[in-house]
C-alpha cells in the first residue's frame, strides 16, 4: 500500500493551497494538496517536511493530524496521511513547475480532485466533535439539553437519536430542534431512515449499521443528495467498507472505550481503532466512553474527532 503525506496549508484568509498535478502523472491534470510518497525509512513528519520543501520551498514548522484514510483506485491503493499545517516559513512556489492556487474552504467542493480527496474536503468541513442526544431523554429534556450544549459551543454537529420514540414524535422533535440548531450555526442529523430525515428538512441522516447494510444489499445509491450529510454507525472493518460503498460523508466507529450506555460491548481500544481508521475511506469519529480529553488521542489515531453522548452533552440543570 502506497503511504502518502499530504499537506493542507492555509493562508491568512483561511484559503487552502492547491497544486495541479502534471499531465503525464497518475491523476494528471487534477488539483491536489501538496505532498508525496513516504520514502523508505521515513515517517509522515519527515515526508511531509521534505515534500513541502521540494515541491513548494516551504519549511513546515508545526502541523497536526487532520485525517488518515485509505482509497482504492483501480490502478493502486493509497493511504493518505493528511496534515493540517499550522505554522510554516516561506512563500509557496511551484518549484516543480506545477501551477498553484489558493481556494476558499467553501469552494473546495467544486475543485477537480482525485477521488480520495472528497474525504479530505469533508474532513475540512466537519468539526472535531459530534454530539449525540441521550437516548432516553424526553423531548423537553432533549430541547433544553440541546440549547445548553449549543450555548457551551459544543454542538456544531448534532445527531438526534431517540430509538424508543415513535417515529412521528421523533420527526416532530426534529422539526423543533432544526431551527434551534440553525440559529446557532449547527447542523442536525436525524437517526432514522433517509426519506424520513429528508421529509423534515434535516441537514442529514445518520444510519444504523443495520440500515446501512440493508441499503447496500439492496444496491441502493447514496440515499441523500450531496449537500446533505450521510453518516453511519459502524463497528468493524466490514462496516467501514459498506459506508464507503454507500458514499457516506463520515462514520462513527464504536466502542473505543467502555461505555455506560452499552455495557455489554467489548471495547476496541486505541490500537485497533487506529488500525481500522487507517483502512477507512471516510472521516471517522471515535465513539464509546469519549470525553473531551480524548480528542487528542482520537486525532493521533487518524480520526476526525470524537462523538459522544454523556461526554459532550450538557444537561440543562
Ligand X SMILES: Nc1nc2c([nH]c(=O)n2[C@H]2C[C@H](O)[C@@H](COP(=O)(O)OP(=O)(O)OP(=O)(O)O)O2)c(=O)[nH]1
Q: Shortest approach of ligand X to residue 17 CB, angstroms?
A: 11
Q: Tell me whether residue 34 is annotated as binding.
A: yes
Q: Shortest approach of ligand X to residue 141 CB, angstroms?
A: 44
Interaction partner, residue 209 (ligand X, Mg ion, none; CB < 5-8 Å by kind): none
For ligand X, the closer of residues 66 and 215 by Cβ is 66
Q: Shortest approach of ligand X to residue 6 CB, angstroms?
A: 5
Q: Tell me whether residue 55 is annotated as binding.
A: yes
Q: Tell me whether residue 26 is annotated as binding.
A: no
Interaction partner, residue 33 (Mg ion, ligand X, none; CB < 5-8 Å by kind): ligand X
Interaction partner, residue 114 (ligand X, Mg ion, none; CB < 5-8 Å by kind): ligand X
CA distance from start to end of the chain: 51
Q: Shortest approach of ligand X to residue 169 CB, angstroms?
A: 44
Which H/E stretch holds residue 272? Answer: helix 269-279
- Residue 53 binds Mg ion (CB under 5 A): no
Q: Tell me whether residue 75 is annotated as binding.
A: no
Spell out where the chain has E strands: 2-9, 16-20, 31-32, 35-37, 59-72, 77-89, 100-103, 129-132, 157-160, 187-190, 204-207, 229-234, 250-253, 284-286, 305-308
Q: 141-180: which residues touch Mg ion (CB under 5 A)?
A: none
Number of C-beta neighbours around residue 271 at 10 A: 9
DSSP, residue by residue, 88-142: EES----TTS--EEEE-GGGGGGS---TTHHHHHHHHHS-SEEEE--TT--HHHH
Interaction partner, residue 6 (ligand X, Mg ion, none; CB < 5-8 Å by kind): ligand X
Interaction partner, residue 70 (Mg ion, ligand X, none; CB < 5-8 Å by kind): none
Q: Shortest approach of ligand X to residue 228 CB, angstroms?
A: 25
- What order do you get walking across the sheet with 16-20 strand by strand? 31-32, 16-20, 100-103
Q: Tell me whether residue 291 is annotated as binding.
A: no
Binning the chain into helix, strand and coil, the percentages to the nearest 5 are 30, 25, 40
For ligand X, the closer of residues 51 and 249 by Cβ is 51
Cis peptide bond prior to 255, omega within 30° of 0:
yes
Tell me the three cell numbers of residue 1: 500500500
Q: Shortest approach of Mg ion to residue 110 CB, angstroms?
A: 22
Question: What is the rounded distance in angstroms from the CA atom of residue 282 to the CA atom of residue 106?
Answer: 19
Q: Which of 10, 15, 22, 36 binds Mg ion (CB under 5 A)?
A: 36
Q: Shortest approach of Mg ion to residue 49 CB, angstroms?
A: 14
* Interface residues toward ligand X, by CB under 6 A: 4, 6, 25-27, 32-33, 35-37, 51, 71, 78, 80, 114, 116-117
Burial 275-300 (b: 16+ CB within 10 A, else e): ebbbbbbbbbbbbbbbeeebbebbbe
Question: What is the rounded distance in angstroms from the CA atom of residue 158 to the CA atom of residue 154?
Answer: 9
Q: Tell me whether residue 33 is annotated as binding.
A: yes
Annotated binding site for Mg(2+): 35, 55
By CB under 5 A, name the binding residues for Mg ion: 36
Annotated binding site for 8-oxo-dGTP: 21, 32-35, 117
Amino acid at each position: 500500500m502506497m503511504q502518502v503525506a499530504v499537506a493542507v496549508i492555509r493562508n491568512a484568509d483561511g484559503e487552502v493551497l492547491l497544486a495541479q498535478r502534471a499531465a503525464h502523472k497518475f491523476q494528471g491534470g487534477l488539483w491536489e494538496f501538496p505532498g508525496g510518497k513516504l520514502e523508505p525509512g521515513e515517517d509522515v513528519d519527515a515526508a511531509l517536511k521534505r515534500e513541502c520543501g521540494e515541491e513548494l520551498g516551504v519549511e513546515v514548522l508545526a502541523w497536526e493530524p487532520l485525517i488518515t484514510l485509505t482509497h482504492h483506485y483501480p490502478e493502486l491503493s493509497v493511504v493518505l496521511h493528511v496534515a493540517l499545517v499550522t505554522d510554516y516559513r516561506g512563500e509557496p512556489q511551484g518549484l516543480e513547475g506545477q501551477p498553484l492556487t489558493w481556494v476558499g474552504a467553501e469552494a473546495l467542493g467544486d475543485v477537480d480532485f482525485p477521488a480520495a480527496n472528497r474525504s479530505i474536503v469533508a474532513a475540512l468541513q466537519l468539526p472535531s466533535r459530534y454530539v449525540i442526544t441521550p437516548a432516553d431523554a424526553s423531548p423537553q429534556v432533549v430541547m433544553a439539553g440541546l440549547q445548553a450544549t449549543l450555548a457551551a459551543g459544543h454542538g456544531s454537529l448534532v445527531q438526534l437519536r431517540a430509538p424508543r420514540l415513535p417515529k412521528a414524535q421523533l420527526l416532530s422533535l426534529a422539526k423543533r430542534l432544526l431551527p434551534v440548531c440553525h440559529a446557532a450555526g449547527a447542523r442536525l442529523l436525524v437517526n432514522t431512515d433517509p426519506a424520513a430525515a429528508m421529509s423534515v428538512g434535516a441537514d442529514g441522516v445518520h444510519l444504523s449499521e443495520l440500515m446501512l447494510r440493508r441499503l447496500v444489499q439492496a444496491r441502493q445509491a447514496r440515499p441523500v443528495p450531496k449537500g446533505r450529510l450521510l453518516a453511519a454507525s459502524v463497528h468493524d472493518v466490514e462496516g467501514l467498507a459498506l459506508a464507503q460503498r454507500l458514499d457516506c460523508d463520515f462514520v462513527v466507529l464504536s466502542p473505543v472505550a467502555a461505555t455506560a450506555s452499552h455495557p455489554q460491548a467489548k471495547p476496541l481500544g486505541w490500537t485497533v481503532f487506529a488500525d481500522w481508521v487507517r483502512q477507512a475511506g471516510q472521516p471517522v469519529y471515535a465513539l464509546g466512553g469519549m470525553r473531551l480529553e480524548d480528542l487528542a488521542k482520537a486525532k493521533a489515531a487518524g480520526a476526525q474527532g470524537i462523538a459522544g453522548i454523556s461526554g459532550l452533552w450538557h444537561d440543562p440543570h
